[in-house]
Structure 1
Amino acid sequence: MNRITWVDNLRGLSILAIIFLHSTIAVHNNAGHFTLISNTMNEMLAPVRLGLMFFVSGLFVDVGLKKGLGPFINNKIKSILYPFIVWVAIYGGLKIVFSSMANTPQSPLNIILSHLTGGGDMTWFLHSLFIFFLMILVARKLPFYVVFLVCMFASWALPAIKPDSIFASFDNSHINKSFYLFVFFYLGDYVVRKQIDLAERVKKTSVIGLSLASFALLSCLNLFIVQGAPEAFLSPLALLSVPFFVWIAAHLSSRIVYYIGTHSIVFYLSHYLAIQVFSKLVKFESASPWMNDIKFIAAFLAALALPWTICLMRSRGWLNFLFTLKKSAKPLQEKAV
C-alpha cells in the first residue's frame, strides 16, 4: 500500500497550524515581533484549520468500508476510541491532579464528564472523529446540500452548554463546532466516492483561482468585517477554500511537514502536554520584544520536540500503546503526487 504525499502534507500543515496557535496561547498571545503575524495567521486559518484535518480523515471512509462494516468499526475502535480513552485518562488525570494550579478550577466529576462528552482538551477531536465515522454511514446516502444545510443550521442554532453545567468545558460550543466540522469530513468522503482526483483538479486555473479567491474573501471577512460571527455563516467560503490548501500540499516539498503528517496522531495528542508544561514553567513577563520572541520560539520548538521524541521511541517499539491497539505495521511506501 502506498501513501499519497499531498494527503500527508495537508494533514501535516493542519497539525502545524494547530501547534502554532497553541504556541501563541502558551505565551499569552505576546509573541514579541511575531505577534502581529501570529494573530493574523491564527485568525485567517480559524475557519479551515481543523476542517482540513477532518477533510483528510473523510478521505479514508470509502476504503475502510470496502473491507466490511465489522472490520471498519473494529478499526475505528482500535485507532480512535482506544486512544481517546487513553488520553482522556492522561489529560483528565493531570487536570485533576493539578486543578489547584488551573486558571479555572473544576471538580473531578466535571473534568471527567466534560472529557467523556467531547469537551476535553485535545481529546474532543477523537471524540468527534469517532462519532463522524458512525454518522457518515447514514450521511453518505444523503445529498450534499441536505447534509450541509442540516449541519450548518445545527451549528448556528444549538445553544452552548451552560457555564455552570457539570458538562461545561473550555469550549462550551464544541457541539456546534462539531456540526460545522462534519461537513468537511463529509466532503472528504464525497470526493472519494465521486472519484474526484483533487490533485489533478487543482491544476486547473479556474479551480485554484476560485478557491484562492474564496480563501482571500473568507480571510478579509474574518479579519475585518464579521469578527465573532457564527462559523456557519462563513462555511461556504471555507469549503471552497479546501482546493487551495490541497494545491499547496501537492506542491510542497518538506520532509518536516510530511513527517508530521505521517505521525499526525502523535503530534496532535502530545504536543499540548509540552505547551501546558511550558506555560506553567515559563511565567516571567518581559517588556523586551526580543525576550518574547525567544519565549514564543521556545514554546513552538518544545511543542515539536516532545512528539518527535515519542515518534522516535515508537519506531523502536515503545509507547505504541498510547495511540493504538493495532500492531505496528511496516512503513508504507511514499507515492508521488
Structure 2
Amino acid sequence: IHRWATGARAEGGRAGAPPTPPVPTLEGGVDYMTPPITPVADPADPLAAYDEWRCFPVDPGLDADRFITGYQVTPGVRSIVHHLTVYRVTPSEPSLVEGKTNQDVMTELDDASPDRPGWECFGGPSDALPFQPLFAWAPGQNVIEFPAGTGAPVSSKDHFVVQVHYNLHDRAGASAEDSTRLRVRYEDTVERRAVFIGDDGFMTSLFEPDGPDTLPPRQKNAAYTWKRTRAELTLDPALPPIEVLGVMPHMHERGRTFDIRVTSGAQESCIARVDDWDVHWQDVYWYRTPPLLDPSSSLEVTCTFDTRDAQDPVLPGWGTQNEMCNANILVALPMTP
C-alpha cells in the first residue's frame, strides 16, 4: 500500500473487482414522507441563526396497538438535515391548554403558517402538548434495529410528530426543497418496552434563573459536565434495576469527546465514550451486556469542545453554531407501566 501511495498509484483491473454491496435497507417497514418544504432560518436568533426546526404531524394509520422494532431515515437533501426526532402524541387526549385537545393545539400550530406545512418547534413539539419521544436519527445512521424482544409502543390512537432540524450554515442545497422518508417496522408483540430518554444539562441551563451556562472561547478542550439521578430521568424509583439497551450521544460541530459515567453506591463505571466526535457520523450504540441503572444510580455526562474559533462565549442552543451536550439512552422497561 505504501509503495502504491508513494508511486504512480496505477489503477487496478476492474474486471476482477467485487460487486458494489447493496445499500442496507430495513425490510418489512412502512414508509412515511414529510411534506416538501424549503427551510428558512432567522439570522436574528442567537440560539438558531442558521437553523430551522420544523414539526410535521403524521398519521401512522395503525388499526391496532403496535411496537416499533426498527427504523430507517432517508433525508431528501442530506446536506441540510441535521437530525430528526419522532414523537408520539395522542390527538384525542387533553392538551396542556385547558379546554383543548392535542388535535386542537396541533391544528392551531399548523394553521399559524398557512403557506408552509408544519410549525416551528425548537426543543420539543410544543409546550402545550404532552408527548413521548420514540427515536431519533442523525447523520451516520442507516438501518436501526432494536434489540430482540424490545420495541417502542405506539397506540392505534397515536399520531407521530416528526421533528426535522434543518441546518443552513454554509451548506450546499440550503435553498433546496426537502422531503424526508421515514421507514418504520412494526411488530404485534414484544417482551419489553423500549423507552427513549433524552437529557442535556447544558441546554436546560437556558431555563435556569442564573443561566445560561456558556463555554469559554479560544479553548482547545472546553469541558462541560452535568449530572442526573435515575429519578430525575423520570424513571419510576419503584422499578428494579433497569437495563440500558443503547446510547446515542449528540453534540454539534465544536464537539470533541463525550463521556457517560454511572455511579451506583460506591461503584462508578464508564458506560459510553466517544474519543473523536464527528457531527457527520453519529449512531446508536448497542450493548452486548447492558449496564444497569438501579434506584440509587446517577448519570454523569461530560462533553469537551474545541472553541478556538469562537471570539465570544459559546451559548447552548438549538442552532448548529451553538452547542449541546445531549445524552440519549434507550432503556428496557416491563410491559406493564
Name the TM-score class by shorter chain.
Answer: under 0.3
Q: TM-score, normalised by structure 2?
A: 0.22
Q: TM-score, normalised by structure 1?
A: 0.22
As a proportion of its length, which structure holds more strand?
A: 2
As a proportion of its length, which structure holds more helix?
A: 1
Larger Rg computed on CA atoms: 2
